[in-house]
Structure 1
C-alpha cells in the first residue's frame, strides 16, 4: 500500500505538469459582472504566470503597461465601501493564496495613464480554508482541489478618493519547492474611487512592484507536499485597514460571510 509521503509526492508531480493557467478578466461591482477586459487590462502572455519577482511584469502582468492596452481599457467609477470582485477566465487552477492591492495614481494622472510605479497597499487576503494534521492545507481559493472562478471583497470605506489601479494576485505554489518555482498570476483594473465621507485615513503599510517580494519569503519558497504544512504566512504586507485575512471565498451571487478573520484567531 503506498505511503502518505509517496502519494503526496505523486500528486505534486501531477499538479506541476498540469496546464491550469488563468487570467483575471472581468471586474465585479456590487454583484454585477462587467465585460471581459472592459475595465481590466488585457495581458499578452496567453495566461502564463510571471515567475521573476523582479520583473516589471509583476505590476500588471505582461502587456499590462502597454500604451495600446491601457488606452483600450475603460475606467470604472466606484464608491468607497462598494463590494468589488473579479471573474477568472477559467478557474484558479493551483493551490495558493490570493491577495488584492490598490495603488493611487499621482494627482493629475488618470488610472488609464498610470503605470503602477507608486506605492501599493493590500486590502484583501484569502489564504487557508483549513489546516489538517498529516494532510496539510486546504486553500480557500482551491477548496478540495477545485479552483474558484470568482471572488468578492469590500473596498474599504476609508479609501482616499482618486484614480487607482486595483491589482488581483494569485500565488500558485504547487511547484514552489525550488527558488523561482512559484507562479504569480495578476491583473489590474482601472478605477476612479469616490468618497464623500473620506476621514483622512492614510493607507499602509505600502510596497512597490517589483520589490514587494524577494522570492525567498517562506510563503513563496515553500514545499507544500511533504512534510505537510502545519502553518502558512502569506507574503507581502498586512491588509489595510483591518490587518486580517479571509478563510472562505465570497462568491458572486452568494451572501458574503465577511472579508476578515483577525490574525491568530
Structure 2
C-alpha cells in the first residue's frame, strides 16, 4: 500500500496567472471558482507549509523529491483513464537540487506550461509532490497532491492519452521505493510520460523540458 502522507506538510495555496496572484484558495478544490488560462501559457503553482508569507518554508528540508503536474477534463468521470501528465521534475544533476529544493528557493512557486494544443474547456490541474525521505521502506513514500480548477481557452483539438489516478503508481516502482541518498542522479520519476505536443522526447531522469 502506498502511503498518502500527511497533507499538512505542504499544500497548494494559489495560482499565478498572467503574472497575477489569484489569491489564497481561489480556484483550489473544493471551491467552485474556475480560473481562465490560455492554452500554451506559462502559469505558476504555489505551495506553502503554513501561510503564504515570504518566510514560509514551503516544505521541510528533509522532504526531498519530485514535483509532478497532471490535467484531466472536468466533463469526464475523474475515476477513469483521463489524467495526462504535463510536467515532471526530479533531481537536477547540474544544480544538485531536487524539485522540492527548487520550490523552497522560489518561495513555493513552480512555473509550468499549459499544453498549447489541448482542447479548450474546464480541467482539473493536479499538482503533486512526492517526499522520499523514508522511501527506502516500501509504502513509506509520502504524497502531497492538490487540485486546482482551470478553464483552458484558445486551445486546439488534441486529446492526450489518459491514465487512471489512483493506478499510475505501484508501491515497488523504482521512483517510489528507493533510497535516493545513494545516487540521486539515477532517480527515475514515476508515473506515465509527460505529454508533449509533437512527440518531443522527454528526459525523465532529472528534469523534463515541460514548463522550463
TM-score tier after normalising by the smaller chain length: 0.7 to 0.9
In the alignment, the residues of structure 2 paired with residue 220 and residue 258 of structure 1 have an alpha-carbon distance, to the nearest angstrom, of 22
Q: How does 1:130-169 map to 2 (within 5 A)?
A: 130=93, 138-143=97-102, 149-169=108-128
The partner residue of 1:76 within 35, 40, 61 is 35
Deviation by residue 1:71-118 (Cα, 9 ceiling, x = unmatched): x331112220121121112313321010110001226xxxxxxx7323
Distance change >3 Å, CA 33–CA 147, structure 1 → 2: closer
TM-score by length of 1: 0.64
- The Cα shift of 1:146 comes to 5.9
Q: Which residue of 2 aligns with 1:35?
A: 23
**Structure 2 runs not aligned, ≥5 long:** 1-6, 50-57
Distance change >3 Å, CA 239–CA 213, structure 1 → 2: same
Contact between 1:126 and 1:245, CA under 8 Å: does it hold in 2? no
The 3-state SS of whatever aligns with 1:142 is helix
Distance change >3 Å, CA 228–CA 146, structure 1 → 2: farther
The 3-state SS of whatever aligns with 1:210 is coil
Please give the root-mean-square deviation of Cα atoms over the aligned residues, in Å: 2.9
Distance change >3 Å, CA 20–CA 102, structure 1 → 2: closer
Q: Which residue of 1 aligns with 2:55?
A: none
Q: Which residue of 2 aligns with 1:201?
A: 158
Contact between 1:25 and 1:187, CA under 8 Å: does it hold in 2? no
The reply on whether 1:218 has 2:174 as its aligned counterpart is yes
Q: How does 1:15-94 map to 2 (within 5 A)?
A: 21-41=9-29, 70=30, 72-90=31-49, 91-93=58-60, 94=63
- The Cα shift of 1:131 comes to 6.7
Q: How does 1:242-253 map to 2 (within 5 A)?
A: 242-244=200-202
In the alignment, the residues of structure 2 paired with residue 160 and residue 173 of structure 1 have an alpha-carbon distance, to the nearest angstrom, of 35
The 3-state SS of whatever aligns with 2:140 is coil
- The Cα shift of 1:258 comes to 7.1
Report the number of matched residues: 191
Distance change >3 Å, CA 162–CA 151, structure 1 → 2: same
- The Cα shift of 1:35 comes to 1.2
In the alignment, the residues of structure 2 paired with residue 27 and residue 208 of structure 1 have an alpha-carbon distance, to the nearest angstrom, of 25
**Structure 1 runs not aligned, ≥5 long:** 1-18, 42-69, 108-114, 250-256, 261-265
